[in-house]
Amino acid sequence: MYGIPEFRLPKEVVQAEIRYVQALGVEVRTNIVIGKLYTLEELRQSYDAVFLGTGAGLPMMLNVPGENYNGVYSANELLTRTNLMKGYLFPEWDTPVKVGDRVAVVGAGNVAMDAARCSLRLGAAEVHIVYRRSHEEIPARAEEVHHAEEEGIIFDFLTNPVEILGDENGWVRGIRCIRMELGEPDASGRRRPIPIPGSEFEMAMDTVVMALGTQPNPLVFMEAEGLERTRHGTVVADERTGRTKMPRVWAGGDIVTGAATVISAMGAGRVAATDIDATLRDSSGPWWPEGDGGQTKAS
């Protein structure tokens, strides 16, 4: 409802799924922030099993000069304002999202494609995907890239922003970029982008959208010392059961894998639900088998 655009997943489809779950007898409590209103430990005191499916909603930024100018969005903010505030229905709904004529989306994952295509629908005349690697290294699914290309999104490969440029009123007027070349593969298996000295150039822009990935919101981990996490901030969980290192707490979806797909998150929920049911029937046996270090999910 918040992040996936209407043209990719209609809101009515989501509502139908919610209605189905509620018809099964599931109680949905809204307006509750875990980590503030309740801690994970407080939930464990009230329930026999807890499943964490809070996703990865904390955006990562580029940390370059000028990121605080008006007109710089994280992809999360742009997509949430478009979806939740129904910016895609303007002027029927009085919540427009200002993007101007020229938009740069930094990054090339699935979310970047969503942000770029949303920007077109919000009235932008020209939308650029600015990506520091080449076409071969694009992390987005091939079909998402194909749809973006079909809609006229411009791809600026081997290009990396080094500064956001602003006007005297504090609004974005452009970006300064540097050309890149590809070196040897890095830890991700993709060739490492290396800046080319002296290749800086400027691009006039009205809006810049950072689509550089996300991390789990740290609020959920308040007073949850027993919940082991990876260096990326994601939760360590057994891929066969969804169990975390914290007894009676399961996890799945983006909070474990990092940003991924709805389908993979649904699969993780099903795996965990099966183990939760089995555990509630028979809780004998170790929670986390000693010496079992090869079956964990970690981004």
Domains and CATH numbers, the chain: 31-57+215-297 (3.50.50.60), 61-212 (3.50.50.60)
To the nearest 5 percent, what fractions of the chain are helix, strand and coil?
Answer: 30, 25, 45
How many CB atoms within 10 Å of residue 90?
16
For residue 149, report the phi and psi dihedrals to the nearest 5 degrees: -65, -40
CB within 8 Å of 244: residues ≥ 6 apart: 52, 227, 228, 235, 236, 237, 250, 251
Q: Are residues 105 and 59 in contact, defined by beta-carbon separation less than 8 angstroms?
A: no
Strand 154-156 versus strand 249-251 pairing type: unpaired
Predicted structure pTM score: 0.85
Give CA–CA dist 238/292, Å, rounded: 9
Say what the pLDDT of residue 295 is.
47
User: Where do the DSSP E strands lie in 144-264?
Assistant: 154-156, 159-166, 172-185, 191-195, 201-204, 207-210, 214-215, 237-238, 249-251
Q: Which of 107, 120, 45, 32 is nearest to 74 (CA)?
A: 107
Contact status, residue 156 vs residue 126, Cβ threshold 8 Å: no
* Residue-wise pLDDT tens digits, 114-153: 999 999 999 999 999 999 999 999 999 999 999 999 999 9
> pLDDT tens-digit profile of 14-68?
999 999 999 999 999 999 988 889 999 999 999 999 999 998 888 999 999 999 9
Hey, what's the torsion of the CAs at 10, 12, 18, 20, to 10 degrees?
-120
Does 72 or 89 have the greater pLDDT score? 72
CA-CA-CA-CA torsion sign (76, 136, 122, 168): positive
Alpha carbon distance 163, 175 (integer Å): 6
Per the model's pLDDT, the better-predicted residue between 295 and 230 turns out to be: 230
Nearest to 99 by CA among 70, 119, 74: 119
- Residue 32, number of CB atoms within 10 A of its CB: 8
By the 8 A CB rule, do 182 and 192 touch? yes
Could you tell me if 236 and 244 are in contact, meaning their C-beta atoms sit under 8 angstroms apart? yes
Would you give the end-to-end CA distance of the chain in angstroms?
Answer: 24
Residue carrying the six token digits 């979310």? 111
Average pLDDT over residues 76-87: 85
Element (H, E) at 26: none
Tens of pLDDT along 246-285?
999 999 999 999 877 888 999 999 999 999 999 999 998 8
